[in-house]
Chains A and B, each alone.
Chain A
Amino acid sequence: MHPNYDLPLYVPKITQEQIGLLERLCQACAVAGDESEVRQVILEQVKPYADEVKVDALGNVLVTRQGKSDHCPRVMMTAHMDEVGFMLVNEEEGGLYRFALVGGIDPRQLVGKPVLVGREHLPGVIGAKPIHLTDAEERKHTIPVDALRIDLGTEGSSKVKKGDWATFATRFAQIGPSLCAKALDDRLGVATLIELVKHAPANLDLLVAFTVQEEIGLRGARVAGYAFNPDLAIVVDSTPANDLPTRDGSENASYNTHLGAGPAIYLADRATFSDQRLVRHLVQAAETESIPYQFRQPGGGGTDAGAIHTQRAGIPSVSVSVPCRYIHTAAGIARLDDWNNTLRLLYAALLGFDASFINNPA
């Protein structure tokens, strides 16, 4: 299955080098609408390897690595640079800011969380009343977002302004076989695609889009798909693992994915039916290379594939995600093995794309 190269064969593997890069990516603050911190890291990483790099009108980073022949499949891969977070809306007295959510965050996840605000990553807190001052009735209800405030202390207000973005303040940590960080959705995808840009196989044109504003409507991907107009697209994201035991002891039938069960191949979500040939291709690559994999439960959610697959005259698409518990909260947990196997699966899939995947627009 491996084509002949006169180069040492690349064995895809996550090592401390890739984990270090992921840490930089997760620590960067890039809420939908201002992805510049992540963009800078990506540009620095891919420029030495890319045949072409472009930042488009919306801020997507579009990277091309050309294949050896003139007639090879054009394979697009995407990962989104943005994370969910907050935007300061209004300053009130004494360094308190009203804020809005950017992307899907459960309001119950906010109270008492430390945050980082603005380009300087100024620390603040989404203030919560101490328990001494609350009563039982109050504790039953979720505090609405417009009743919460980001408290920057009195000095902070001179360094930030309304319109600035804020993120959770979680520090990246490796805990044994697991990673704990904010924005694993989708810095895992970003780190994976940076690695694939560096080691792109020669049998295809690899068109990598690091997209903007996925979390607020798959916006960057829409134009990236139109611009690249590839033969097919593989989206690399992160998806919830809702795999904890149920409270009543019954079988968990809505786990979405399981941590440790490998990369999750999408069959269908709310936005896209995966191209069935691409699903079969991924499954075959996994089975040939003995890579563990799972199917993400159909239904709910969406990835950049939703915006890409209906572009132009249609682009066969599929998504593959690294399972992650607690995504869209302050701290998610993913397994290193799942990330490693996702990289291995994607690379094996790339090696198998031959001329039969080229679309002839009729």
Chain B
Amino acid sequence: MKSLIKTLVEIPGPSGSEHTICEKIRDEVAAYVDSLRVDALGNLIALKGEKKAGGLRLMLSAHMDEIGIMVTHVDENGFVRFITIGGVSPRTCLGGRVLFMNGVQGVIGCEKLEDINSQPAIDQFFIDVGAHNRQDCKVKIGDVAGFERSFLDLGNRLVAKSMDNRVSVAILVEMLRQLEHTPHQIYAVFSTQEEVGLRGAISAAYGIDPDLGLAVDVTAVGDTPKGIKMEVSLGNGPAIKVRDSSFISDPRLVRWMVAVAETNGIPYQLEVLERGGTDGKSIQLARAGVPTAGLSIPCRYIHSPSEMVDYNDVQGAVRLLLALVSEPIVLE
């Protein structure tokens, strides 16, 4: 599964420009699902299974977009000004490298700061693609780039940009590959534009009209020096989401997920995320409402070019997901 993760994280695909990653995911799952379609907002929707006795229509959502940048202006000397797509901190930009959807690569530079102790704003940065002037520059207004940093396999720990949320994409892909029997009609949605406002999932959930929803995404951890106070740590298993800042999981679903994890001997953690939202909000509020929960992968350094996950947590998430969807769901 490591090579699948590596392939997925390295494909550029910020919010709004998911076509390339969408094609790749299609290739990976086509043989394992009953049908595939792409909806009006670019969500890739895979269907597997039929609703049998005791079965439900499930929507599992893993967003396939990542944070990135979009070109706003190319100046007369060929320097490229940009805005951010999603939650990009100026601190992660200094000296960063970007890869445009059209293949052009560049470096992020910064204007001279009046006060070296202050934080630059995004409009003080620019991208240098090595052009001499505007005519020479191979990117133009509206072009999109993701951050570029190679995948690192540190054994138990894996590092890349876009673990948020390509690691969850990999988990859903792997679940679809391994799933043999299910009483449920499962819609696995690789959603778009989560990073800019959970948008793809809004219309995907409306179109699918599920009985139950599960958002699969990364979550923060509290196990780094002087970090946020949070009970989730790398290596203690996949996290069952109690709440994040965008929605509160249905407590019946949380109890169900805990029961399945315990029955199957899968280590898990409980997640309370104070700052951070996921597709779960969009699913929960679709139409007349959908009972929704979240399954999360603990991740350090989220929204930096070097996000770190624990490989055992990832494998545990696949096992838990398979256990959750292979049996009838009893909520109490």
Neighbouring B residues of A313 by C-beta, 8 Å: 39-40, 203-204, 206-207
Q: Given the interface contacts A273-B196, A313-B39, does A361 sit within 8 Å of B207 by beta carbon?
A: yes
Query: A362 to B203, Cβ gap below 8 A?
Result: no
Query: B142 to A298, Cβ gap below 8 A?
Result: yes
A60 CB-CB contact with B under 8 Å = no
Alpha-carbon gap, A270 to B40, bound state (A): 19
Q: Which of A284-311 contact B (CB under 8 A)?
A: 295, 297-300, 309-311
Q: How would you classify the secondary structure of chain B's contact residues: helix, strand, loop or mixed? A: mixed
A251 CB-CB contact with B under 8 Å = yes
Neighbouring A residues of B15 by C-beta, 8 Å: 273
Which of A268, A273, A316, A359 has the most CB atoms of chain B within a 10 A radius of its CB? Answer: A273
**Cβ-defined partner of B75 (8 Å) among A253, A273, A297:** A253
A254 CB-CB contact with B under 8 Å = yes
Neighbouring B residues of A297 by C-beta, 8 Å: 72-73, 141
**Cβ-defined partner of B203 (8 Å) among A267, A298, A299, A314:** A314
Neighbouring A residues of B197 by C-beta, 8 Å: 271
Query: B70 to A267, Cβ gap below 8 A?
Result: yes
B63 CB-CB contact with A under 8 Å = no
Neighbouring B residues of A254 by C-beta, 8 Å: 72-73, 81, 123
How many Å from the CB of B208 to the closest CB on chain A?
9
Total interface residues on B, using CB and 8 Å? Answer: 29
Which of A251, A297, A312, A314 has the most CB atoms of chain B within a 10 A radius of its CB? Answer: A314
Q: Which of B1-34 contact A (CB under 8 A)?
A: 15-16
Closest chain A residue to B197 by CB distance?
A: A271
Query: A253 to B16, Cβ gap below 8 A?
Result: no
Total interface residues on A, using CB and 8 Å? Answer: 23
Alpha-carbon gap, A253 to B125, bound state (A): 12
How many Å from the CB of B254 to the closest CB on chain A?
27
How many Å from the CB of A278 to the closest CB on chain B?
11
Query: B72 to A314, Cβ gap below 8 A?
Result: no
Query: A311 to B203, Cβ gap below 8 A?
Result: yes
Query: A298 to B41, Cβ gap below 8 A?
Result: no
Alpha-carbon gap, A316 to B192, bound state (A): 13
A315 CB-CB contact with B under 8 Å = yes
Alpha-carbon gap, A251 to B40, bound state (A): 39
B91 CB-CB contact with A under 8 Å = no
Q: Mark B185-220, 1 if CB is under 8 A from A, else 0.
A: 000000001001101101110110000000000000
Neighbouring A residues of B41 by C-beta, 8 Å: 309-310, 314, 316
How many Å from the CB of B195 to the closest CB on chain A?
11
Alpha-carbon gap, A310 to B281, bound state (A): 14
Neighbouring A residues of B141 by C-beta, 8 Å: 267, 295, 297-298
**Cβ-defined partner of B72 (8 Å) among A253, A271, A361, A362:** A253
Query: B199 to A310, Cβ gap below 8 A?
Result: yes
Neighbouring B residues of A268 by C-beta, 8 Å: 16, 70, 85, 142
B308 CB-CB contact with A under 8 Å = no
B76 CB-CB contact with A under 8 Å = yes
How many Å from the CB of A362 to the closest CB on chain B?
5
How many Å from the CB of B38 to the closest CB on chain A?
10
How many Å from the CB of B63 to the closest CB on chain A?
14
Query: B81 to A298, Cβ gap below 8 A?
Result: no
Q: Mark B211-253, 1 if CB is under 8 A from A, else 0.
A: 0000000000000000000000000000000000000000000
**Cβ-defined partner of B83 (8 Å) among A273, A295, A299, A359:** A299
Closest chain A residue to B43 by CB distance?
A: A314
B177 CB-CB contact with A under 8 Å = no
Alpha-carbon gap, A72 to B299, bound state (A): 49
Alpha-carbon gap, A299 to B16, bound state (A): 13
Alpha-carbon gap, A311 to B199, bound state (A): 10
Query: B16 to A273, Cβ gap below 8 A?
Result: yes
In the assembled complex, 10 residue pairs joining A and B whose CB atoms fall closer than 8 Å, in A order, are A251-B76, A253-B72, A268-B70, A273-B16, A273-B196, A298-B72, A310-B199, A310-B203, A314-B200, A314-B204
Please name 18 further chain A to chain B contacts, defined as beta carbons within 8 Å, in addition to the given A253-B81, A314-B207, sorted by A numbering.
A267-B142, A268-B142, A271-B197, A273-B16, A298-B70, A298-B71, A298-B141, A298-B142, A300-B83, A310-B199, A310-B203, A313-B39, A314-B43, A314-B200, A314-B204, A316-B41, A359-B40, A362-B39
